[in-house]
Amino acid sequence: MNAEPAQPRDTGSRPRPPVGGADGRTLLVWDPAMLDYDFGPSHPLHPVRLALTMDLAGAAGLLDRPGLTVSSAALASDDLIELVHDPAYLRAVREASPGSATGARLAARFGLGSTDNPVFDRMHAAAALVTGGTLAAARAVWEGTHRHAVAIAGGLHHAMRGTASGFCVYNDPAVAIAWLLSAGAGRVAYIDVDVHHGDGVQAAFYDDPRVLTISLHQSGRTLFPGTGFPDEVGVGDAEGTAVNVALPPRTDDAGWLRAFSGVVPVLLRSFRPQVLVTQHGCDTHAFDPLADLRLSLEGQTASYAALHALAHEVCGGRWLACGGGGYALDAVVPRAWTQLLAIATHAPLDPARPLPPDWAAGAPAKVRAATGHDSVGAAGMPAAFGDGASARYHPWDAGEGDVDDPVDRAVAATRRAVLPLHGLDPLQDR
């Protein structure tokens, strides 16, 4: 998975957007106003994690790297958000306000006002700005001004057409994919490595053969949203373009990376997308308080590097990377997404490199000040960008793996359900 990127292959069978002088250029879409997407101090999805990520990326020197552009974005317009969401839902988001009886009654019909998705002031503007950031990243990659683009505040993958869900008001990755299709993309692949099933993006394109969605997540039998099983494969002409790997709790680096190797590369090479869109929820980490997988920073970074390499191999490097979940606010999220940005700027950080001392000393206090409580990392901030793990694994080769291993059983079930629909043999590696 850490091999050098292969040269892109032009099959001549599909239109290709211009890439011009974009080789090596990376866009980071960021605006401090994105911190206004804030459900309140006690909510798990606290924006302090984004502020700490940007602080760490700056302290590590990433924001000064040649070829990196940091740019803000405009609010996504209603017509673009409505590529995915129902207009009535947008009206509800605009009208809902804290303490308003009318707004509360309206919001209750649309998944708002719950513990997961409480109403906050200027909610539409905040969610539309996050969505606008991901749209700006998609536009940069498609139009060829940049080869890679990172929308660090994006990745809100649970929102459905007419409802908020799982801390997500607007589904920015789905909106970006829908925009890419409207701009002329014929095939887009979406890979979701969040610990939770990428259900909203899957639902948006469940009947669209132009979009391949692959989600690797903790099984819905043990975790929200309770979906994402191997038999969810898409419908009609899109059968086979929804792919789900439902992993057992306590899956570690070796199991997760083996699962990735058995599903993602073979399908991306078969599908040959023009653009790769990825969601990088880092709640797969062993420290995360809301889930039960056991990945390390090294394991997560290996997945980022593999997706970067695959973007170069299958779609000329056109890669849009979003953030996502992650609730170890200081100990995990900033390190994970700083590593993601480092890979997107073509120079991964040494996992043994010490964290900047001032950042490491101040991060727990910033979390405490923002949330009123200590985060997972407050009692023992990691010393380095990595965890000191090896992230070694045995890649999937052929057959159905070890029938006594629950991870192998999960991978084999997905391969049996999906690969034949692409004309591929699930008993073969290629």
CA separation for the pair 267, 285 (Å, rounded): 25
DSSP state of 252: B
Instruction: Output the CA angle 10-14-19, nearest 5 degrees.
Output: 60
CA separation for the pair 7, 21 (Å, rounded): 16
Residue 44 within any structural domain of the chain: yes
CA separation for the pair 211, 271 (Å, rounded): 9
Residue 241 within any structural domain of the chain: yes
Predicted TM-score of the model (pTM) = 0.94
Residue 308 maps to which CATH number? Answer: 3.40.800.20
Torsion of CA 269, 206, 259, 273, to 10 degrees: 20
Residue 299 within any structural domain of the chain: yes
Residue 18 within any structural domain of the chain: no
CA separation for the pair 315, 411 (Å, rounded): 25
DSSP state of 134: H
Residue 43 within any structural domain of the chain: yes
Token pair recorded at residue 409: 């059983």
Instruction: Output the CA angle 109-110-111, nearest 5 degrees.
Output: 105
Residue 288 within any structural domain of the chain: yes
Terminal C-alpha separation, the chain: 15
User: How many structural domains compose the chain?
Assistant: 1
* Mean pLDDT in consecutive groups of 10 residues from the start of the chain, 430 residues: 32 35 84 98 98 98 97 98 97 86 77 94 97 98 98 98 98 99 98 98 98 99 98 98 98 98 98 98 97 98 98 98 98 98 97 98 95 75 95 93 97 98 88
Catalytic annotation, pick one of 46, 124, 158, 197: 158
Specify whether the CB–CB gap between 31 and 73 falls below 8 A: yes
DSSP state of 273: -
CA-wise closest residue to 216 among 341, 396, 389, 386: 396
CA-wise closest residue to 150 among 216, 90, 65, 262: 65
Beta bridge partners, 354, equal 384
Residue 9 within any structural domain of the chain: no
Secondary structure element (H or E) that encloses residue 266, with its range: helix 253-271
Show the domain range for 266: 27-74+122-422
CA separation for the pair 330, 377 (Å, rounded): 6
Beta bridge partners, 252, equal 294
CA separation for the pair 172, 127 (Å, rounded): 9
Q: What pLDDT shows up at residue 376?
A: 65
**Active site includes 46?**
no
Residue 49 within any structural domain of the chain: yes
